[in-house]
Structure 1
Amino acid sequence: MTRRRPRPYDRELQNLRLHVGHERQGPVPVGWYFARFSRHLRRGEVVPVTYMAQEYALFRTRGGQLGMIDSQCCHMGADLGRCGRVSEERLVCGFHAWEFDRDGTCRKIPGAGRIPSRAAQRSVPVTELGGIIWFWHGSPAPEPLDELDFAEDRRRHLYLAGEVLVCHADLLPIGEHVTDASHWAYTHSPGRPMTSVQLRDEGRRFSFLIQPADADDTRIYHFRPYTLISMASPTTAVAVPQPGPRPDGKPPRMAFVAAVSPVRPGVTLATWSLVVRKFGPDWLLWPANRLWAAFLWRLVRRNHHADFDILRWMRPVAKDLWSVADGPTVRAYRRFYRRNLPPAMEEGAEERVSGMS
């Protein structure tokens, strides 16, 4: 059995003494969500994770494939995330050694000649892209992560895991902060007020450009402060620096990925990572590739830490108080968030979410 010490955020969540099943998760948009950094789940390893007030066993088989299934064993309720072990391509319960495939189907029961039809675990679709393990939430079939297609070639990119922050708030106020351009001048100190220009807002697509509020301020601290932000899902943003006010459409040299995942009502994980394009092949430019990536990681980490205490303890107000300085992007994001809620939940959640608009 492959076990490692729990990550710091795992220990923090454990200390919260979550009572999974006693609280019902509110409506959550359909889409891909952060499950774990790829480097934090080795082959043959299984870890317990909690999302949407449900507990899962997330594991990687000996062959490198991923699985995410309900952690409560259908046999006698053992926790597969904590007592399970990986055997070749299956997850084996540590109580009675029932073996489950990545899709949750029981394939072997020691001493039993027949496997009951109900011997199965609920599974969640998972994928791996950009150095992150993603899980799909929602009834429609999983959709491709188009906004991260450029990061698929591992030979040309470095994936740098960032940090995971446990926030004591619900999903929406944490997820929408990336669309709030007005806070940049105060929290991140670029030296000039910033604004956002909406580019696309339809269906499951939402993108905008962050740029100086004054068109004459084309440079801030010797760099051009234009950033294209595309939502890979309602709670995952991919930010790419741009040379000017018009997206150039070229494969990015660097992309910042910000993702938010709900653990349970009032507890949300916020995380970030980097995808850095190499200057060239490692056999020739290994030191330059690593030094450049390390410099960017430290720069982004320093900038992102300005948000930590704010995100960690922020709470939604009963009724928003807007000012002229607040741009339209946050309002547009809330509409985007609402229209991607599961259909069965959309009607009941619409009044609550629109009440914040």
Structure 2
Amino acid sequence: MRRRRGRTRSYDRELHDRLRPAAGDAQEPVPAGWYFARFSSHLQRGEVVPVTYMSRQYALFRTDDGRLGMLDSQCCHMGADLSRCGQVGGEHLVCGFHAWEFDTAGVCRKIPGADRIPSRAAQRTVPVTERAGIIWFWHGPGPEQPLTGLEFAEDRSRHLYLAGHVLVCHTNLLPVSEHVTDVAHWPYTHSPGRRMASVILRDEGRHFSFRIQPADPDGTRVNHFRPYALASMVNPTTALVTPLRGPEPDATPPPMAFLAAVSPVRPGVTIATWGLIVRKLGPDWLLWPVNRLWAAFLWRLVRRNHRADFDILRWMRPVAKDLWSAADGSTVRAYRRFYRRNLPPPGQDTSDG
């Protein structure tokens, strides 16, 4: 069995070493859906890393064959932290204290020196999946819903997945997740002097999408938009933004798509992140360097746009009572209704595993 620790990131150290939960604070209700856990490229085979979401600590690991598991980090045996002392052995996560072995479903498969495994020897688990270069985990009651909206990027031979930055925000989920629907801030942080507008396209059930466009279209570009963009919520707090050539959706796959994901860590702490899906200009056997240069150019362009919001998002706070103006438009208010209708019913158990 090889001992290999997952590489910790700057946001890991900020979350686990500096930001401590306030005593008595309770986790606010969170909409049912898939949430960002980690970029796929940040968890290699045979690695395990500590993650904290919904005020719970987990051990996220990838087996030697590439399967994913996300288990409660406190070992059911004597409480050792599996995310810090555990190690991957084949297809199991092995506790570093007494070498109990757990599979990706949380079931204990081996106890050294024991002739039987107790029926209660199991870890709480969270459903995980991997799409578009991101590891997602499910939060919500009942069986998990399909993760839709990313089917166009399933073919890895035609797409590159680029990890963006992870920003630790000192506020709750909603103020950060609604940011992508707030087109009124564009002329002040992204496109100086260029007012933007939005048109809601679909708003029902688990679906919410809208078009972003200049308030006074004149055919010019707005950064990487030209000048329209389609924003669809693939999850209650994850937006997929794709450029459009005109006001109507394109039938062809987009050359580039931007994913903005927000996940709650604990009361008053949220992470916001972004990733990029880039369609290759041609097969790698012919255009490998060109594909990478094209993707790197787009990544730098998006990073410059995203960094404009860093200080704003990091220190946002919800106001006690909303104060709206006519310039705010209707998209943020519509998004809040979408967010709230996906909250679990009062008293509904949302625990998994």
State the TM bucket, normalised to the shorter chain.
over 0.9
Q: Which residue of 2 aligns with 1:2?
A: 4
Corresponding residue of 1:343: 345
How far 1:25 moved relative to its partner?
A: 1.2
Q: Distance in 1 between matches of 2:86 and 2:135?
A: 20
Q: For residue 287 of structure 1, give the secondary structure of its aligned residue in structure 2.
A: helix
CA contact (8 A) 1:20 1:55 kept: no
Aligned to 1:32: 34
Letter in 2 for 1:327: G
Asked if residue 217 in structure 1 is aligned to residue 218 in structure 2, the reply is yes
Residue 137 of structure 2 aligns with which residue? 135
- CA apart distance, 1:144: 2.1
- The answer to whether the 8 A contact 1:20-1:53 is kept is no
> Paired residues, what number?
345
For 2:269, the equivalent position in structure 1 comes to 267
**Counterpart-to-counterpart distance in 1, 2:221 and 2:310:** 24
Alpha-carbon deviations, 1:254-282, whole Å to 9, x = none?
A: 00000000000000000001000001110
Q: 2: CA distance between counterparts of 1:150 and 1:139?
A: 28
With over 3 angstroms needed to count, the CA separation of the structure-2 counterparts of 1:181 and 1:250, relative to structure 1, is same
Contact 2:256 2:279 in 1 (8 A): yes
One-letter amino acid of the structure 1 residue matched with residue 285 of structure 2: W
Give the Å deviation of 1:81. 0.4
Is the 1:20–1:54 contact (alpha carbons within 8 Å) kept by the matching residues of 2? no
CA contact (8 A) 2:177 2:237 kept: yes
Contact preservation (8 Å) 2:6, 2:49: no
Structure-2 separation of matches of 1:44 and 1:221: 43
**Whole-Å Cα distance in 1 between the matches of residues 21 and 320 of structure 2?**
26
Q: TM-score, normalised by structure 1?
A: 0.94
Q: What is the DSSP-based 3-state SS (H/G/I as helix, E as strand, rest coil) of the residue aligned with 1:146?
A: coil
Q: Does the 8 Å CA contact 1:160/1:297 hold for their aligned counterparts? A: yes
> Structure 2 matches for 1:49-60, cutoff 5 A?
49-60=51-62
Q: Name the amino acid aligned to 2:36.
A: F
Find the counterpart in structure 1 of residue 102 from structure 2. Answer: 100
- 4+ runs of 1 displaced by more than 6 Å? none
Q: Paired residue for 1:61?
A: 63
Task: Return the offset for 1:141.
Answer: 1.7
Q: Aligned partners of 1:18 and 1:67: how far apart in 2? A: 26
Quote the Cα distance in structure 1 between the aligned partners of 2:23 and 2:203: 35
1:4 to partner: Cα distance? 4.2
SS in 1 for 2:138: strand
Aligned with 1:298: secondary structure? helix
SS at match of 2:150: helix
Q: CA deviation at 1:345?
A: 5.1
Tell whether the 8 Å contact from 1:68 to 1:124 is kept in structure 2 after alignment.
yes
- How much has 1:16 moved relative to structure 2? 2.3
Instruction: Indicate which of 90, 97, 100 corresponds to 2:92.
Output: 90
Aligned to 2:158: 156
1:111 aligns with 2:113: yes
Gapped runs of 5+ residues in structure 1?
347-357
Aligned residue identity for 2:176: I
- Which of 255, 264, 278 aligns to 2:280? It is 278
Whichever residue aligns with residue 130 of structure 1, its letter is A
2:47 corresponds, among 45, 48, 60, to 45
Q: How does 1:228-243 map to 2 (within 5 A)?
A: 228-243=230-245
SS in 2 for 1:285: helix
Equivalent pair of 1:78/1:95 in contact (CA under 8 Å): yes
| Alpha-carbon distance between aligned partners in 2 of 1:217 and 1:322, rounded to the nearest angstrom | 28
Distance 1:91-1:258 versus aligned 2 partners, 3 A rule: same
Distance 1:202 1:192 in 2: 30
Deviation per CA, 1:126-181, whole angstroms, max 9, x where unpaired?
A: 00010000000011322222211111111110000000000000000000000001
Look up the equivalent residue of 1:326 and give its one-letter code: D
Please show how residues 76-87 of structure 1 align to structure 2 within 5 Å. 76-87=78-89
Picking from 295, 300, 303, the partner of 1:301 is 303
* C-alpha distance 70-178 of structure 1, shift in aligned 2 (>3 A): same
Change (3 A) 1:20 1:144: farther
Q: Which amino acid aligns with 1:300?
A: V
Structure 2, gaps ≥5 residues long:
349-353
Per-residue Cα deviation, 1:332-352 (whole angstroms, up to 9, x for no partner): 000000010112358xxxxxx
**CA distance in structure 2 between the partners assigned to 1:197 and 1:63 by the alignment:** 45
- Quick one: percent identity of the two aligned structures? 73
